């Protein structure tokens, strides 16, 4: 059988995971995987808040995608997919054209500014390795650790998982004498109900109170301007830096950008033949409550299903169905504290922080261990 090309747009959790799984499963080497990504690095995103606070702490947070591709016997092209010609099975990336037999759209998610004036221009975000690094360098340039430096003010827009983890990490690095932190949230509570229970929310609120992190829930941001977060009724917060953790949306290519790629529960796109979607950019038609949550867990789960279905479809086997159910969520509060629920059991404190780090290491081992990490198709 001739080798078939699987083009994977996006080398994140889903894309790199699919390449690794294909290498483990495709004993006959009937597929040649090619990862395309504008970033040279695969980011361990669950730790991006760490470099967004301290850009020097990037060990095991960025891994060259080329190295991951080598481990997965895949090729890597450092380019952004700009356009897809589904009919003729071609994509256009950085002025070149690439043909495919199977295409996987795994382009992740990007900040959602909800049309708030000035939000994109006047804030940093922590969604990609590059943007988190830029945020970290801006924070460093505030010189908060310099002797005699005046206290700086940082506004965090959004108290979901991203905003909470970033604010807590920032406080660990810079104490209340060096930095005032205000976190603004439109909802009347921090963290979405799907990500934690009331007891965990109370734990985080107590942490914020103890650590002097000002929390403004039920507060809508109307505009961002340089050095100022505008709230309703003309109220505002002045700040030296604004960090946007207020929302994310699916990154689509060849589709409506904000809704991602619509796929059926086997992760196949019904509109276009031999096209798969995985991870944050995939919108799965499923009645399961968390079928479309934007999480690393889901992207890793999708990588397994998509890789199996790429192979199964080629040998005429029935495709596996995605039935994603989250195991739970662990939320970091700096390096030594965390809170979360896993399989219904609640965890708090240093043991929970250690469990989260162990999870991240386990994830890395699956990427590098693809050659010995064989599973049943
Ligand atoms: C700070 C932070 C903390 C988080 N914490 C958690 C957590 O604790 N638990 C959890 O489950 N999830 C967490 N998440 C969410 C999780 O990281 C994402 O859900 C996960 O990265 C999704 O994986 P993905 O492969 O779909 O997308 P990504 O990992 O984002 O990868 C997408 C890739 O596509 C590339 N790309 C984009 N556009 C194009 C294009 N046009 N052409 C080619 N490539 C393109 C990007 O460069 C990127 O490399 C966190 C996210 C952040 C930012």
Q: What is the pLDDT of residue 193?
A: 81
**What residues have CB less than 8 Å from 192, skipping those under 6 apart?**
160, 161
pTM tops 0.85, yes or no: yes
Single out the residue of 120, 343, 80 nearest to residue 247, CA to CA.
120
Q: Identify the band that residue 256 occupies on the pLDDT scale cut at 50, 70 and 90.
A: low
Mean pLDDT confidence for 34-41: 97
- The CB of 169 under 6 Å from ligand 1? The reply is no
Distance between CA 282 and CA 266 in Å, rounded? 11
Q: Which residue has the higher pLDDT, 233 or 325?
A: 325
CATH architecture of the domain with residue range 124-246: 3-Layer(bba) Sandwich (3.50)
User: In this predicted structure, which of 3-17, 56-70, 357-371 has the lowest mean pLDDT?
Assistant: 357-371
**Do 319 and 309 form a contact (C-beta atoms < 8 A)?**
yes
Q: What is the pLDDT of residue 27?
A: 83
- The CB of 254 under 6 Å from ligand 1? The reply is no
Q: What is the pLDDT of residue 158?
A: 97
Mean pLDDT confidence for 148-162: 96
DSSP H stretches of helix in 322-349: none
Torsion sign across C-alpha atoms 35, 38, 42, 45: negative
Q: What is the pLDDT of residue 376?
A: 56
Structural domain boundaries of the chain? 4-111+249-327, 124-246
DSSP 319: P
- The CB of 190 under 6 Å from ligand 1? The reply is no
Evaluate if residue 130 carries a pLDDT over 70: yes
Q: What is the pLDDT of residue 186?
A: 96
Residue 245 C-alpha from the chain's centroid: 12
**Do 71 and 365 form a contact (C-beta atoms < 8 A)?**
no
Mean pLDDT confidence for 19-43: 93
The model's pLDDT over 301-344, given as tens digits with 9 standing for 90+, comes to: 999 999 999 999 988 999 999 999 999 999 999 999 999 999 88
- The CB of 160 under 6 Å from ligand 1? The reply is no
* Average confidence score pLDDT of the chain: 93
Mean pLDDT confidence for 31-59: 95
DSSP H stretches of helix in the chain: 13-25, 48-53, 65-71, 129-141, 161-173, 198-210, 296-314, 350-368
**Do 348 and 339 form a contact (C-beta atoms < 8 A)?**
yes
Burial (CB count <10 Å: 0-12, 13-18, 19+), residue 264: middle
Mean pLDDT confidence for 216-229: 97
The angle at the Cα of 177, spanning 176 to 178, to the nearest 5 degrees, equals 90
Q: What is the pLDDT of residue 302?
A: 98
Mean pLDDT confidence for 122-133: 97
CATH class of 4-111+249-327: alpha beta
| % residues pLDDT > 70 (the chain) | 96
- The CB of 333 under 6 Å from ligand 1? The reply is no
Question: How far is ligand 1, taken at its centre, from the CA of residue 280, in Å?
Answer: 7
Evaluate if residue 254 carries a pLDDT over 70: no
Q: Which residue CA neighbors atom 26 of ligand 1 most closely? A: 279
Mean pLDDT confidence for 78-103: 95
Q: How many CA atoms lie within 13 A of 286 on its CB side?
A: 20
Distance between CA 76 and CA 83 in Å, rounded? 18
Question: How far is ligand 1, taken at its centre, from the CA of residue 109, in Å?
Answer: 6
Mean pLDDT confidence for 234-248: 95
Q: What is the pLDDT of residue 371?
A: 44
Q: Identify the band that residue 369 occupies on the pLDDT scale cut at 50, 70 and 90.
A: low
Mean pLDDT confidence for 210-224: 97
Evaluate if residue 377 carries a pLDDT over 60: no
Q: Identify the band that residue 372 occupies on the pLDDT scale cut at 50, 70 and 90.
A: very low
Mean pLDDT confidence for 30-42: 96
**Do 277 and 267 form a contact (C-beta atoms < 8 A)?**
yes
Q: What is the pLDDT of residue 122?
A: 98
- The CB of 284 under 6 Å from ligand 1? The reply is no
Q: What is the pLDDT of residue 318?
A: 95
Q: What is the pLDDT of residue 253?
A: 82
Mean pLDDT confidence for 27-46: 94
Q: Do domains 4-111+249-327 and 124-246 have the same CATH topology?
A: yes
Question: How far is ligand 1, taken at its centre, from the CA of residue 147, in Å?
Answer: 37
Q: Which helix (H) or strand (E) holds 4?
A: strand 4-9
Q: Which residue has the higher pLDDT, 250 or 192?
A: 250
């Amino acid at each position: 059988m001739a080798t078939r090309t699987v083009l994977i747009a996006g080398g994140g959790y889903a894309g790199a995971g699919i390449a690794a799984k294909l290498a483990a499963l495709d004993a006959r080497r009937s597929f040649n995987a090619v990862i395309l990504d504008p970033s040279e690095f695969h980011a361990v995103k669950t730790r991006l808040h760490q470099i967004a606070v301290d850009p020097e702490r990037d060990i095991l947070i960025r891994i060259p995608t080329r190295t991951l591709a080598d481990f997965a016997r895949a090729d890597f092209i450092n380019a952004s997919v700009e356009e897809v010609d589904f009919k003729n099975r071609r994509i256009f990336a950085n002025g070149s054209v690439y043909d495919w037999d199977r295409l996987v759209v795994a382009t992740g998610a990007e900040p959602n500014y909800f049309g708030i004036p000035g939000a994109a221009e006047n804030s940093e975000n922590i969604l990609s390795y590059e943007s988190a690094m830029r945020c970290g360098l801006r924070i460093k340039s505030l010189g908060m650790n310099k002797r005699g430096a005046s206290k700086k003010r940082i506004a965090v827009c959004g108290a979901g998982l991203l905003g909470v983890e970033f604010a807590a990490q920032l406080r660990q690095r810079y104490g209340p004498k060096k930095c005032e932190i205000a976190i603004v949230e439109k909802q009347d509570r921090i963290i979405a109900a799907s990500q934690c229970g009331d007891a965990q929310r109370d734990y985080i609120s107590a942490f914020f109170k103890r650590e002097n992190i000002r929390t403004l829930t039920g507060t809508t941001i109307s505009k961002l301007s340089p050095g100022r977060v505008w709230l309703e009724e003309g109220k505002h917060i002045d700040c030296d830096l604004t960090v946007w953790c207020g929302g994310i949306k699916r990154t689509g290519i060849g589709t409506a950008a904000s809704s991602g790629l619509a796929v059926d529960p086997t992760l196949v796109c019904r509109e276009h033949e031999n096209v798969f979607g995985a991870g944050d950019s995939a919108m799965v038609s499923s009645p399961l409550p968390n079928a479309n949550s934007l999480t690393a867990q889901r992207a890793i789960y999708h990588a397994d299903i998509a890789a199996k279905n790429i192979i199964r479809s080629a040998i005429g086997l029935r495709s596996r169905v995605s039935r994603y159910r989250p195991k739970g969520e662990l939320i970091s509060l700096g390096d030594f504290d965390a809170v979360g629920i896993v399989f219904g059991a609640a965890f708090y404190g240093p043991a929970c922080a250690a469990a989260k780090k162990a999870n991240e290491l386990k994830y890395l081992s699956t990427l590098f261990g693809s050659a010995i990490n064989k599973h049943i198709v």
